[in-house]
Amino acid sequence: MSIKILHIDSNNPILWNQLEEAGFENHADFKSSKEEIEAKIQDYNGIVIRSRFKIDKIFLDAATKLQFIARVGAGLESIDCEYASSKGIHLIAAPEGNRNAVAEHSLGMILSLFNNLNQADAEVKAGHWNRESNRGHELDLKTVGIIGYGNMGKAFAKKLRGFDSEVLCYDILDNVGDENAKQVSLEELREKADVLSLHLPWTPETDKMVNSAFINAFKKPFWIINTSRGKNIVTADLVEAMKEKKVLGAGLDVLEYEKLSFETLFQENNTPEALQYLMEAKNVLLTPHIAGWTFESHERLAQVIVDKIKVVYGKN
């Protein structure tokens, strides 16, 4: 009996091709609504998805033959993981696939903010040669605090080895520090950090975690980088802290206002006031959720998913 897999989002062709070569039966539906998919999902043993819609209890109850859900990405927040697990469904993600891309993007954001690269580029192109107002900072001798020391946090810390910087990490798990970062309490990180980089999933514990109280607990003004999930930061509180110079600059690849699919942002008629501030501020760098979105990670994510699906069925 063949194992039927429904691909709900498009991915790198190696995912489809290698699954086919391994004997799986591939089907694709990139356009149907969630309700239309639910009407036929009982025919499938596996799903491959990115973030097109939420895999909730209703969907899972309809998927009577489902054996695995593979998300081609790092997190599983769009899936009701607890309910899926209660049904014996394997949950597969691929944080190994884009951790290097996220790490490089995070580092690029820090260096761009420190050296006013975007601002200086725009000014020169507009005919302005402003040297003093674009005097930058060096990352050497700064303390970088990483919150969330899993795949992404560890990859980022590794990138920092070439700098003469102190790297600290905080995580809810014990003993995750390594030769690239010293694990400390949240209190110590807040006392020492010049730069804060978030590498967290979006969970009830991390939702709106970075708010006014969180920011005000830092001893020094600091820069913040977020390549994790937008809803981990209360944007209005971040903007207020920037106005008060408690936050010196922000590199945000993700925003609180993103849709669940991460594919859209500018759909509302009225731009929130806090977002408007970020879009106009010179000490803010914004990118459209592309930290893990490189040509190399596109292929690597697909390969990780293929390999993990094969393990589930003993085909590795």
Which residue type is seen at 52? R
Q: How far apart are CA 100 and CA 143, in angstroms?
A: 21
Angle between helices 13-21 and 295-312 (to 10 degrees): 30
- The answer to whether 300 and 97 are in contact (CB under 8 A) is yes
Which residue type is seen at 94? A
Cβ neighbours of residue 286 under 8 Å, at least 6 residues apart? 252, 253, 255, 278, 279
Q: Given the residues 289, 296, 299, 300, select the one marked as catalytic.
A: 289
Q: Given the residues 188, 258, 298, 299, select the one marked as catalytic.
A: 258
Q: How far apart are CA 70 and CA 275, in angstroms?
A: 33
Q: How far apart are CA 234 and CA 257, in angstroms?
A: 10
Residue 258 is among the residues annotated as catalytic for this protein? yes
- The answer to whether 173 and 148 are in contact (CB under 8 A) is no
Largest CA distance in the chain: 70
Residue 229 is among the residues annotated as catalytic for this protein? yes
Q: Given the residues 229, 244, 268, 298, select the one marked as catalytic.
A: 229
Looking at the chain, the number of H-run helices and the number of E-run strands are 12, 12
Q: How far apart are CA 136 and CA 283, in angstroms?
A: 12
The CA-CA-CA angle for residues 280, 281, 284, to 5°, reads 120
Tokens of 290: 């592309």
Residue 7 is among the residues annotated as catalytic for this protein? no
**Dihedral in degrees, nearest 10, Cα atoms 256, 146, 77, 16:** 110
- In 54-135, where does DSSP find H-type helix? 57-62, 81-86, 95-114, 117-125
3-state secondary structure of 161: helix
Which residue type is seen at 255? L
Residues designated as active site? 229, 258, 289
